[in-house]
């Protein structure tokens, strides 16, 4: 742990890295770290390769500081919630601290703080702050709460336990603006996201006696609705509530015609094994990967379905 504080102490310009297509956990982690590094009187930058970030996260402290250009003068980088190096979207040449909670993380940093049994990267950081006696202000508490809220699927995921609620209680005591977080992250939905959702459910197909739900989202669907990649997540989760469904698969075509895949599962199937075959990663019930070959959504669907069938 102190190796991390040591590295931070010695650095002059630190860049925080949120992953490509960042979620609330990656943005929340970096936001809390940003405040912490300012407390340490460090020069801080925040890098995210994705230039169009979900607006609903813009209430998080320092959000406006996010840049899609990597600062050349940084002498230390900290990656947050990046399951693998590729997720950073850049080849980091300076020292790197890797903070994450994905079981498939291969410890690609010079220093690694990777805790697979933690519900979110924000939970890892909260623990790090507590162990090291860091003063957690309201901004930090709000950012940490947001990551836990989203990665725990609003406190409904399988790995939620008493520790999760204890942390939430403490963060609210520390001044987390949880009502604002709930409103922005859990309650508000854009018209584009709602339109995408209706399209996704209209085109959803069921396989293996309706145990597997599959969504194919074309680039045209994304363009027509104006939705962002993150907007596919809610319908994907919701499909697991269908009484017969155990596994849900999303295949989303990107503007360059590569395909982004996400798998969610309500059983104890290690879907990250499937993701690993394609060079991706994840956790027990959720995984993601990319198919870099230019193939049709139908072709991708049959390839991945074949692998899912083997796991069922
Ligand atoms: Mn996460």
pLDDT digits (tens, 9 = 90+) for 97-133: 999 999 889 999 999 999 999 999 999 999 999 999 9
Q: What pLDDT does residue 117 have?
A: 95
The domain made up of 2-187 has a fold known as inorganic pyrophosphatase (n-terminal core) (3.90.1640)
Whether the pLDDT of residue 251 is over 60: the answer is: yes
- pLDDT for 205 equals 98
**What is the predicted pLDDT for the residue at 22?**
94
Pick the CATH number of 191-311 from 3.30.420.40, 3.10.310.30, 3.40.1800.10, 3.40.50.300: 3.10.310.30
Q: What percentage of the chain has pLDDT greater than the value 90?
A: 87
Sign of CA dihedral 293, 294, 297, 298: negative
Contacts 24+ apart (CB under 8 A), 133-136: 134/36, 134/39, 135/39, 136/171, 136/174
List of E strands, the chain: 13-18, 43-47, 66-67, 76-80, 95-100, 111-114, 205-207, 212-217, 247-253, 259-265, 281-282, 286-291
Are the beta carbons of 302 and 249 closer than 8 angstroms?
no
Residues 295, 91: Cα–Cα separation, whole Å: 27
Q: How far is residue 222 CA from its own chain's centroid?
A: 20
C-alpha 209 to ligand 1 mean position (Å): 31
218-240 pLDDT, tens digit each: 999 999 999 988 899 999 999 99
Least reliable range by pLDDT among 48-62, 140-154, 251-265, 271-285: 271-285
In angstroms, what is the span from residue 221 Cα to ligand 1's centroid? 27
Q: Decide: 16 and 97 in contact? Cβ < 8 Å.
A: no
- Residue in the structure block whose two tokens are 């320092």: 62
81 CA → ligand 1 middle, Å: 5
Give residue 207 CA to ligand 1 midpoint distance, Å.
29
| Ligand 1 centroid, distance to 102 Cα (angstroms) | 7
- 287-309: b (≥16 Cβ within 10 Å) or e: bbbbbeeebebeebbebbbebbe
Residue 249 clears pLDDT 70, i.e. is over it: yes
Distance 260 CA to ligand 1 centre (A): 17
The helix/strand/coil state of 83 is coil
For the whole model, what pTM was predicted?
0.85
* pLDDT tens-digit series, residues 262-312: 999 998 888 888 999 999 888 778 899 999 899 999 999 999 999 999 988
CA of 126 to the centre of ligand 1 (A): 13
pLDDT of residue 1: 56
Question: Are the CB atoms for 248 and 260 separated by under 8 Å?
Answer: no
Of 23-27, 82-86, 155-159, 301-305, give the lowest mean pLDDT range: 155-159
What protein residues have CB closer than 5 angstroms to ion ligand 1? 25, 81, 120-121, 151
Q: How confident is the model at residue 61 (pLDDT cuts 50, 70, 90)?
A: very high
Q: How far is the CA of 120 from the centre of ligand 1 (A)?
A: 5
Q: How far is the CA of 197 from the centre of ligand 1 (A)?
A: 23
Report pLDDT for 311.
Answer: 87
**pLDDT, mean over the chain:** 95
Q: What are the residue boundaries of the structural domains of the chain, listed by start? A: 2-187, 191-311
Question: How much is the pLDDT for 281?
Answer: 84
21-50 confidence digits (pLDDT tens)? 899 999 999 999 999 999 999 999 999 999
Residue carrying structure tokens 């680039």: 219
- Beta bridge partners, 148, equal none
């Amino acid at each position: 742990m102190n190796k991390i504080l040591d590295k931070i102490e010695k650095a002059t310009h630190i860049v925080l890295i949120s992953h490509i297509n960042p979620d609330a956990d990656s943005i929340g982690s970096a936001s809390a770290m940003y405040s912490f590094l300012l407390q340490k009187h460090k020069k801080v930058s925040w890098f995210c390769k994705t230039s169009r970030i979900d607006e609903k996260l813009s209430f998080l402290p320092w959000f406006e500081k996010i840049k899609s250009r990597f600062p050349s003068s940084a002498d230390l980088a900290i990656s947050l919630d990046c399951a693998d190096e590729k997720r950073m979207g850049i080849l980091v040449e300076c020292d790197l601290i890797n903070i994450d909670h994905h079981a498939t993380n291969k410890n690609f940093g010079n220093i690694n703080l990777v805790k697979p049994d933690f519900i979110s990267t924000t939970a890892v950081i909260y623990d790090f702050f507590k162990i090291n006696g860091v003063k957690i202000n309201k901004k930090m508490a709000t950012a940490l709460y947001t990551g836990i809220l989203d990665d725990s699927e609003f406190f409904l995921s399988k790995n939620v336990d008493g520790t999760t609620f204890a942390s939430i209680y403490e963060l609210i005591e520390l001044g987390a603006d949880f009502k604002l977080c709930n409103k922005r992250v859990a309650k508000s939905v854009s018209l584009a996201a709602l339109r995408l959702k209706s399209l996704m459910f209209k085109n959803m197909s069921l396989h293996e006696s309706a145990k597997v739900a599959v969504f194919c989202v074309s680039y045209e669907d994304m363009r027509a609705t104006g939705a962002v990649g993150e907007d596919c997540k809610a319908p994907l989760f919701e499909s697991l509530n269908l009484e017969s469904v155990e596994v849900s698969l999303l295949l989303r075509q990107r503007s360059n015609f590569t395909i982004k895949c996400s798998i969610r599962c309500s059983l104890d199937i290690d879907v990250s094994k499937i993701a690993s075959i394609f060079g991706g990663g994840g956790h027990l019930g959720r995984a993601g990967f990319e198919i870099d070959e230019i193939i049709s959504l139908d072709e991708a669907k049959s390839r991945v379905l074949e692998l899912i069938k083997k796991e069922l």
